Each structure stands twice: as structure tokens, then as C-alpha cells.
Amino acid sequence: MAIKKIIFYLLIIFNLINSNIKAQQNSLTESIKWKSNISNNIDKDFSELLNFEDAVYNDLSSLLPSYFKRIKLNNSTNNIDINISNPSFINFKNEDIENIKPPENVQNTIKINYKIKYERKIPYLYVNFIPIVRNKSNGRLEKLTSFTLNITEKHGLKKIKKLKAHKQNSVLTSANWFKIKVDKTGVFKLTYNDLVEIGISEPKNVRVYGNGGNMLPIKNNSFRYDDLIENPIFMEKGSDGIFNQDDYILFYAKGPVDWRYNEQEQIFEQSLNMYSDYAYYFITSDLGSGKKIYTENVPSGSITNNVNSYDDYAFCEKNDTNLARSGRVWFGETFINNTSYTFPFSFPNRIISEPAKIKTHVASYSSNLYPNSYFKLSSNNTDIQTISVPAFNTGASYPPVATDKTATSFFSNSNQNFNINIKYFGSTSSSKGWLDYIIVNVRQNLSMIENEMNFRDINSVGAGNISQFTLLNASQNIKIWDVSNISDIKEIPTQFSGNKLVFKVTSDTLREFVAFYGDDFPKPITQAEDVGKIENQNLHALNFYDLIIVSHPDFKSYADEIADFHKNNDNLNVISVTTTQVYNEFSSGKPDVSAIRDFVKMFYDRASNEEQMPKYLLLFGDGSYDNKSQNDRNSNFILTYQSEESLTSSSFVTDDFYAMLDDDEGGSIGAVDIGVGRLPVRSDDEAQAVTNKIISYYNKENIGDWRNSVCFIGDDEDSNNYMYQSNELSKTISANHPTFNIDKIFLDAYPQISTPSGQRYPDVTTAINNKIKKGALLVDYIGHGNPTKFTHEEVIKVNDVTSWTNFSHLPLFMTATCEVSRFDDYARTSIGELILLNPNGGGIGLLTTTRIVGSGQNYQLNKNFINHVFNKDLRLGDIVRLTKVNTGSETSSNKRNFTLLGDPALKLNIPKHKVVTTKINNKDIAENVDTLNALSKVTVQGYIQDDAGNKLTDFNGIINPTIYDKPVSKTTLSNDGLTPFTYNIQKNIIYKGNASVTKGDFTFSFIVPKDISYNYGNGKISYYADNSNIDATGSFSNIIIGGSTDSAFVDNNGPKIDMYMNDSNFVFNGLTDENPKLFVIVSDSTGVNTVGNGIGHDITAVLDDNQNQPIILNDYYQSDVNSYQRGKIEYPFSNLDEGHHKIKLKIWDINNNSSENYIEFNVSKSENLVLEHVYNYPNPFTTSTSFLIEHNQAGAELNILIQIFTITGKLVKTFETQSMSDGYRISPIHWDGLDEYGDKIGRGIYIYTVRVRSDNGKQASKFGKLVILR
């Protein structure tokens, strides 16, 4: 009976288990839409690629497109079955592959690559394969067109993501702490007096903490210490047994050079810390007595090995040259043909009968038109190594800066001390070579050298081994420490006899020992800028945060401003810390790129849900490919992750390193879990400028219809590839986000001119600069570029970017081009960085490139960017994160070359609410709306609603409607002889005005201009509304525009034009600065023509009679509120020459009647405050007068002091006032003719002085005479 019950319960358990492990299946039916081949352009390096919709090219060398799918899994499992069924293939046409060079190893079946990656702790399946096979029977290439992707998740092997434990508090949270440093590995000494001098209050209780000078691991799952660990110390107390005067402590410190045994190559190799030349330690005496070095027990087993010799090593490595200014491999000595260097090596107890082992790493620049260059190493005139370094095509568009080679070999030498000579044999006079390192491993007799000696023996290592070491040339007072584990240093008991010191230890692992005697040991560095007393800190105790800001200490105050801004404006949980604080707790005080990542990962590991996980990381400080040098020129404020590849165009820098936080990630491989942005500032001025821009971006005063605008800039050449990509992306926006108005600046649509410096597009430069002036939500550039310019024709150069003054309407930039934002090159500030750093304008941020990229890969990333950038719920960091995880496989290096320069917690200024059209000419839009004919009057009605569709009855403000004529087809000019490119653009404005919104409702009217295109088609109404607090956007495209009306308004008079500079207080021939604004008031009974369809009917301004370069002002006209008959033009000029200028203006009304007017003015550079036309009116006067003042400081706050004197110099009246206006004329300052006591001043002649001082300290003064008649 009992057995039956057991069987019964076992069956129940089996069924439960079986139900839990039941596989979950998912099938996706997929089709691949093959398209025309595309060009892949890396600057001038052009290749043709096969292409299909959403194709992925995983790296710059990809010859074939890959299918990529990112699939959210239902369970955390590492057991997946995936296969393809129902595949359908078709042959490629010959013309499809005639310019393609596919690899010979294309297989005859689809090979699926997949990996499970975690994004914010949610499992995703990354599927990747090449949808091309080679037909087994005929050898032809075939393309996959459709298939079923079958995915089976097996629940039984569920992978549970455990929360990783971190210390809850840092040891630095309390007590007095002092930071010291060392520059090498060994035994160090601090005397009682040293400790007192440092500041230690209880030397007898001194403790030493530190984790050594080696670099932290790149991989997340590799071991590293969490917080500072205590190091055991030896304390010499003297004969009295009390730690006091003349006593000292010894401790073992690991310096910045780490040695590891390479089991595969069987050689000890060095690793120099690439971030610091020092290791840092922390001491305190406030925590009671600390760890001491204790004596290890002698193993009781039998001796398996007798050790009389040991492994020793030495190296030479200079590391002062980064050949590509990229990557983490550095070189030292430079060679030209027949150059040689000699390096001494000393091993006093070397066993000369055993060969030495040498490992050398070199690089060479040499053309493959000639034989390979090579290095020859010799010792004592005997050749020991010859290293032939492969040559390469030095004439390629992007050749490597060099090729490298590593060689390992044995050599014999009969001397303990010897030299190694290395000589370079270049194949040509232009060949060049570099040495990275030389490592030498030898066996030495275990005999004491000087007063301190490290040793280890790889031959003694083995499971269960117990080794007896015999140290010769020894004395009885020698101590042996096992320093294999710095947190558990042990003294080894020894036996001394004659000159031999013997000890017995287990040797199942490699053990490191130090033998020493006496008390003459180096003192750590206790006085330097980066050591001394430190403040208490406890980053380990921090809670959960949305935004983490890590700043260089120089920029902490600015980082705190941004932190407060996001706390108060966005209700985000924000923490702001310095790099020094992070390094202290996470890398033992020394700079290390992994320390910052590990700090962020601590928050990620602790989070048990989405709300607790960090979302954004802001790096506040510039970075450099040189992460170590400390000099004024270097910009390594926040460390950068550099790729291992350091010689080719595949080398990169990426801040994604900080964002890949799961345990199986690290380096550049993985899925980003948070949004990372960097502010590449180097100075207080730059930090303040960027901080001001970020905080001002949300300013309500900056709202405007520029937030409805998106601009695409497409480069020419390369089979029209860039214009095509820009145009396709614009179609995506038009289809999915029709409220945005798209401007297209395609280079080949403008005239190209030849100059001594090359081909140029001056009109494109003007168009871009004007667009920046007007503002845009997003500017998306696709094409060529480098750190100093956009396009080969230099349509945007550094001086353009630094002249932009669009502070109140900053766009986000996407730059799908090569390395325009190479922020880690400290020798220059890239043009991309300048867009962000410009204090007066530029951009609010950039998703931008730091290295060479490929156009095919860029396009896929840009598409994913466009798919996410207009989501109002996402911040910049979210947009970049989602863009990257949806672009290609985790190993794609191209996407790593895109970096967010900007604040990842910032939201794009997309209008919050929606504008709805209800009626046109009193007809509900659900009915057939009347066609908008030329010269017909149109009335539009609508309202403002929130995202839930509720009318905002408390919305009272202004709406700016813009009515666009039908899209027009444009064809480019084929400036470079390529096939002209045709595209559509909708930018001809019929009417642009302002209307009031009352309780959410609005109505406006206008008359359709005569110059519309008379064919019929869909126009567009674009709306932007605001109430000085919140804004709204909308559009309506179900309107037909075309034809003409039978009841046109009769009008034979042109518009009335009143012209000013900056504001209506300006007087003809007045004074301005070099950046004045043309301000025009226009009125006409029927309205102003802004369509731009009629030849010669644009609103045009001509500066200084330059008829060849008229300025088109159609886009700058805007009607007044609730009036189509009156409006304004505001157009900003910049960098005008000093002196006299004239602007002539021509405006047409909707009936094509024109009027002209002109204005003259005088420019005085604003670097100095200048006063002109200072006078009082009336003069003479009887009862009162007013002072009038012109200046050249528009927009500045001015303090004005006016003093009245008698002709004998007696002061009779003083009055002060302040003025701030957009114009160049101070409002009249009234004087009632009374003195300081309120008494009337007698008739006569008086002298007055006017002194003006600006808020930036500039001053100017003028004198004049006035006459009083009583």
C-alpha cells in the first residue's frame, strides 16, 4: 500500500514537472523585400551592396546584408530551439550581382546565428543570418524572399537572474581617511612620525586599505573587489612593545604594473595600467586595531617538489605614441630605416644553461608595392628574432596607420646581464616602425638579491603539490611573505642553516613571494595634489536613481545645477557624484574606466523592478584617447573606453561601455541597458554654456513653431545615396507624424561653383544657416564629413557653427557621417562638439559619429532613430538606447561609433497637445470641404485637445496656422554628372498667421494668393499653438487647393511697408551692432503673397545693392493676431561689416501688386559700446524735455546716468535709469527741468553728460548742450 502511494505521488510530481517544462512555441511568418543595390561609402571608398528593406550590415567590412530580428522572450531561459521552415528562394539577376564580390564561402543552407541578450533584465532573442545561399546544383546565388521563423522556448531550464550583492556601505563612510600612493610594487614603510605627519591621530591603530594598482577587468562577470579592502600590515613596536617613536609599519603594495602567466604561450606577461602611473592606498586609525600579517601553518604532507630556482622577468615598454589617436594599444620607440635601439637586461642569478624566452610586439608602416619591412633582434651580436611585418596598400581611402606583429621565441646567452638590440629594416625611405614592448622571461637560481626580492615558480604548480623552497645567500633575519593575495598576506615560517633559508608551502596554485630583510624600504608618496586627507563618502549606500551624473570635480557645481533642474522640472530622482568619489570606492582611488561602469552597475544589480533601475547616465566632462597623461592640453576629464583594435579604421571609442550592465557583457559587446550622454566640456566657460542651454531648453519663452520643423540635409555624389536615404526617412515622418513640416536641403538641388579651393555650394550654406536661424526640432544630416566640416564642399564649417545664434530654438542633430564629433582627440575640438558647446546657439544635443562609419549601416540606425525620436514619452537617452538595440547584432561596431553628445535625461521639445480642425468655410470637415481657389477667402475653425481627446477649455493663447500649397516635384541639377534625383517637397506657404485661442477654440481667415499652383491637389494646414505655458501641434491635409474663384477681391495697390532695425524705435540711418535684425511692418487689404510659385513674386531683400544675392523672406513673414491684412517680417543678419549699409525690400500682395522700400543704418561692432545720436528734444525747451540715445548693444541691460551742469561746472541734476530692449534706441528719458530739490532751473545754457554702462562692463559717454527758456 505504501509503495502504491509513493508511485501515485511520483506520478503527480512528474506531471507537474512535465507541465512546467512544456515548451512554448512561437512562429513568425516573415518576408524579405529585396531592393535595388545600394552604395556603401566610407568617405571616398565606394562599394556596391546587395540590399533589402531593413537590411543590416554588421560592420564596415560586411559584403552581404543580414536579416536581423530582435524578439522579446516570455521566459528567462538559455535553452532555445530556432529554425526556418517554408523558405522561398529566387535567383539573383545578373545585373544585381555583377558589381558585387560575394565571399566564396556562401553556404547552400541558411545558417542562423542567435543569442539571448538581456535589456533592462528582460530577455530578448537576437536572430541574425545572411538570407543568401548558393544553389548546390548550379552554383548560383539565390535570395530568400519568405520563410517561417520557428522559436521554441523551453521553460524547464529557466534561467533565474539573481540580484548581485554589493556592500551596503563603504569603509569611507566615517572616520578620518588619508590617501597615499605608490609608483611600484614592493614593501613600503611608514614610520610613527610619518603617520603623525600625515594626520593619523592614533598611530597604534593604523589600518591600510587598497586594492592594488592593476586595472579593473573589462568583463562584468570577472572578479573585482567591491569597495576598499583592508591590507594586513607588519607593525614593528621595538623593545618596549608599544608603537611609538622610532617604530614603523611595513605593508606590501602592488603598483601600476601587473604580471600574469599566459598558460597558452607559457610566458609571464606584463600589463601596464593605461589610466594611472600610481596605485593608491587609504589609511585611518579611527576604526580600532586592524589586520596584521599572520604566520601561515606549515603543511603536514610530504614534499613533492624541491625548488632551487624561480621564474623571473623584465620588460621594456614606453607607451608614449598612439598611432591612430584611437584604441588602447600604445607604442614607444620610433624607427626609420636602419634605426636601432639597445635595451639592457640584468638577471644576476640567471641559469645560463636554460634558454631565455622573449616576446616582442612591433608595428610597421610599409607599402605592399615593396617587400615587407622587418625588425631584427640580437643579443651579443647573435640574432635572436626576425619579425617580418605585413605591408599594406598605403593608397587606400582608409588604410591602417600600421600593421603589427607579435613574435615569441627562445634564445641563449652566456651572460647574466645582457643587451637586446632591435633594428628596423624598412623596405622604402618612407617606411616607419614602432616598438610596443619586449618581454624577457628567464630562470634564476633562488638566491637572495639585495634587501628585497620577489619570486615565483610555475614549475612547482600542480594539484596536491607541496613544495620546499631553498633560498641561498640568505641571512637569518630574512622574512618571507606570501603576497599572492593582497588582502591575505601571510608570513611564511622558515628554517635557516648556513646561508640557506628553507620553507615548505602548498603549491597547487601559483604563489608569489617576497623575501626581504632590514628596515630600509621606500616610503609611499604622502604629499602631492592627489593625496592627503579626503572627505567621507558612501556611494555604496545610495538609493535608486533615474539619472546618474558623473562629473569631473572641476564641473561638479554645473552638474549639480543640471541635477536640480531635472529634480524640479522632471520629477526625476537624480544623484550627482564626481569621478574622484567613484574611483575611491570602486577602483581604489586610481582612475579606471571600469570603475564608473561598476558604479552604475551597482544600481542596476540591486534593482528588482523597472522603477528601481537606473535609466540615464550623464558624463559631465570631455574625454580623450589618452586616458593617462596629465597635462594642460589633454582632455581626459571623464575616461573613455577605447577598443583593443588600435591601428585600423575599425578602432573606436564608445560610451556604450558604461551602458551594458548584465553579467555576461562588458567591453563593446552587449545590449545597452541605459541611455548614456556626454557633455564634452573642458573649461568652466564651456560647462556653464552647456548648462545654460540645457536649462533654457525648457524655458517657456523659447516656445515657437520651430518645434514643428524637421530638416533633412542630403549630401551629393555616391549614386545619390544620401539624398535617397534622406528622402526615404522624410517619407516615414510624413506618414507617421504628419504634424511635422519637413524641409529638404539636398546639395545637388543647388548650383555648384568652382573656387580655387575646390567645388562649393554657397547657397546650401546660406540655406542651412537660415534654417538654423529659424529653428528646427531636428536636423538630420546624411553624407560625408570629418572633424572640421560637413561635406567635401564644406557646406558647414567651424566658423559657420560658431556664428550660429539660435539659442532660443536649439535643434537636436543626427549626423550620419564620418567622425564629425571625434570628441576624444584632445588636439582639436571637433565641429560636432562645437555645435553643442556654442554658447549662443548650435544644438541641444547630437546623436553623432566619433569614427569612420559606413552609409549602409548608418541608414539602418537612422531609420530606427526616426522610429523613436518623436515619441513624446521618451527622453534622449531612451531614444538612443532603443535605436541601438534595434540596430544590428550586439557585435556591430558601426553603431558603437554613434555617441550622444548631450543630456540623456532631456526630453525633445515636441508640443504636448493636439490641434484639431473642425470646420472650413463653415463646413464640417467630415463633409466634402470646399476647394481652396486662388483669391478665395477661407475661414478655418478648430480647437485644442489633450492626448486623451478632451478639449482644453482652459487653453487661452495664440495659434500660428501655416497653410501650404500642394507638394511640388523637384529634380536635382546633376552637378557631378550623376543621374538627376527627383523628390517632392511641400514648403510653398499660402498663408502664415496668428489667431487667438479662447477657451480652447480658434477661428482665422485669409485670402488664397493668386500665385498658387492651379492644378488640384492636397494642401496642408500646419498648426502651432501656445498659451505661454504649454503648447500644441496639429495638421490637416484633407483639403484640395487649386483653380481660381469667380468672385475675386479687386485690389490694385501694393502693400504698405515700414522698415526698422530690431524694433520700431529705430530711426533711419541709425546705429546697430554687427548682428542686427531687419524688422518690417507690412499691411495690405488682401494680404501678402508668400507662396513663391510666381517668378519674381517672392518677398526679397537686397543688402547693399547686391542684386545677385537677394534674400528670400517668404518664410519670415507672419500675419498679426486675428488679421491676414497686417503682419511682420523679422530676419536676423549676422557678422555685417562695420560701416554704412542699405537694405532694399520688395513685397507682393496676393493680387501680385508690389511695393518697395529701403532703410539705411550704420554698423558698429558690439565688442565696444558705442553711442550715437545722443540729444534732447525739444531743445530749447521751457518746461520739460526728453533725452534720446542710440547704441549698438541690442538686448543688453544698460545702466544710464545723466548729469546736468551749469556752464561753470556746478552739478544741478542727476538721474539714473535702466533700459533693456531688443532695439538700438533707448526709450525717451523724460526730465521736467527741475533740480535735485524740485526747484525750477533758471533760463540759460547747460551742459549734460550721458554715461551708459552695459551688464558686461562696457562703457561709453557723450556730452551735449541744452537751452532752457523761461
Other beta carbons within 10 angstroms of residue 181's beta carbon come to: 23
Phi/psi of residue 936, each to 5°? Answer: -90, 150
> Is the pLDDT assigned to residue 43 strictly greater than 90?
no
Position 89 pLDDT exceeds 70: yes
Cell reading at 894: 558601426
pLDDT average, residue stretch 578-592: 98
Express each pLDDT in 398-457 by its tens digit: 899 999 999 999 999 989 999 999 999 999 999 999 999 999 999 999 999 999 999 999
Least confident span in 543-552, 782-791, 925-934: 925-934
Q: Is the pLDDT of residue 53 over 80?
A: yes
CB 496 within 8 A of CB 299: no
Reported as a pLDDT band with limits 50, 70 and 90, residue 17 is very low
* C-alpha closest to that of 1193 among 1114, 1053, 1076: 1076
DSSP 521: -
What value does the mean pLDDT take over residues 872-883? 97
Mean pLDDT confidence for 602-612:
96
% of the chain exceeding 90 in pLDDT? 77
Residue 20: predicted pLDDT: 46
Inter-CA distances, 321 with 149, 333, 631, 678, 770, Å: 50, 8, 15, 26, 43
Q: Which helix (H) or strand (E) holds 362?
A: strand 356-365
Q: Is residue 158 scored above 80 in pLDDT?
A: no
- Place 555 in a pLDDT band, splitting at 50, 70 and 90: very high
> Which domains are assigned to the chain?
22-157 (2.60.40.3800), 171-305+448-516 (no CATH), 309-445 (2.60.120.230), 539-696+777-904 (3.40.50.10390), 913-1044 (2.60.40.10), 1056-1163 (2.60.40.650), 1171-1268 (2.60.40.3880)
- For the stretch 960-995, pLDDT in tens is 999 999 999 999 999 999 899 999 999 999 999 999
C-alpha of 854 from chain center: 19
What was the pLDDT predicted at 26?
86
Reported as type and span, the H/E element at residue 525 is: none
- The residues that bridge with 277 in the sheet, in sequence order, are none
Q: ω into residue 371 within 30 of 0, thus cis?
A: no
Q: Provide the pLDDT for residue 145.
A: 94
Rounded to whole angstroms, the Cα distance separating 99 from 115 reads 33
Q: What is the pLDDT of residue 1165?
A: 83
Cα separation of 1069 and 1074, whole Å?
Answer: 15
Pairing of strands 709-714, 778-782: parallel
DSSP element (H, E) containing 1117: strand 1117-1119
Q: What is the pLDDT of residues 160-218, one digit of tens each?
A: 455 578 999 999 999 999 999 999 999 999 999 999 999 999 999 999 999 999 999 99
Model confidence at 670: pLDDT above 60: yes
Find where cell 558585387 sits.
Answer: 100
Q: Is the predicted pLDDT of residue 8 greater than 50, yes or no? A: no
940 strand-pairing partners: 920, 1004
pLDDT tens digits, 502-549: 999 999 999 999 999 998 999 999 999 999 999 999 999 999 999 999
Side by side, which strands form the sheet with 796-797? 785-786, 789-790, 796-797
More confident residue, 1145 or 9: 1145
Cα–Cα distance, 828 to 788 (Å, whole number): 9
Q: Nearest 5°: phi and psi at 437?
A: -155, 160
| Cβ neighbours around 297 below 10 Å, total | 10
**Reported confidence tier of residue 1051, pLDDT bands at 50, 70, 90:** confident
Task: Name which of 154-158, 237-241, 297-301, 358-362 the model is least confident about.
Answer: 154-158
Q: Is the pLDDT score of 707 beyond 90?
A: yes
Count H helices and E strands in the chain, helices first.
Answer: 13, 82
Residue 441 CB partners (closer than 8 Å, separation 6+): 267, 268, 311, 312, 313, 356, 357, 358, 359
- What pLDDT is stored for residue 1109 in this prediction? 85
Residue with more model confidence, 894 or 158: 894
Phi first, then psi, for residue 797 (nearest 5°) are: -120, 175
Angle CA 545–549–551, to nearest 5 = 155
- Name the region of 1233 (left: φ>0; alpha: ψ -120 to 50; beta: rest): left
Instruction: Tell me how far apart the terminal alpha carbons of the chain are, to the nearest angstrom.
Output: 133
Q: Is residue 21's pLDDT more than 50?
A: no
Residue 861: C-alpha distances to residues 247, 273, 889 (Å): 65, 35, 12
Task: Taking residues 682-701, report their average pLDDT.
Answer: 96
Please report, rounded to a whole number, the percentage of residues in the chain having pLDDT higher than 70: 96
* Sequence-distant (≥ 6) Cβ neighbours of residue 688 within 8 angstroms: 558, 839
Pairing verdict, β 177-182 and 186-191? unpaired
DSSP per residue, 195-242: HHHHT-S-GGG-EEE---SSPPPSBTTS---SS--EEPBEEE-TTTTS
Return mean pLDDT, the chain.
92
Q: Which of 261-275, 1093-1107, 1197-1211, 1227-1241 has the lowest mean pLDDT?
A: 1093-1107
Number of residues written out for the chain: 1270
Q: What is the pLDDT at residue 910?
A: 96
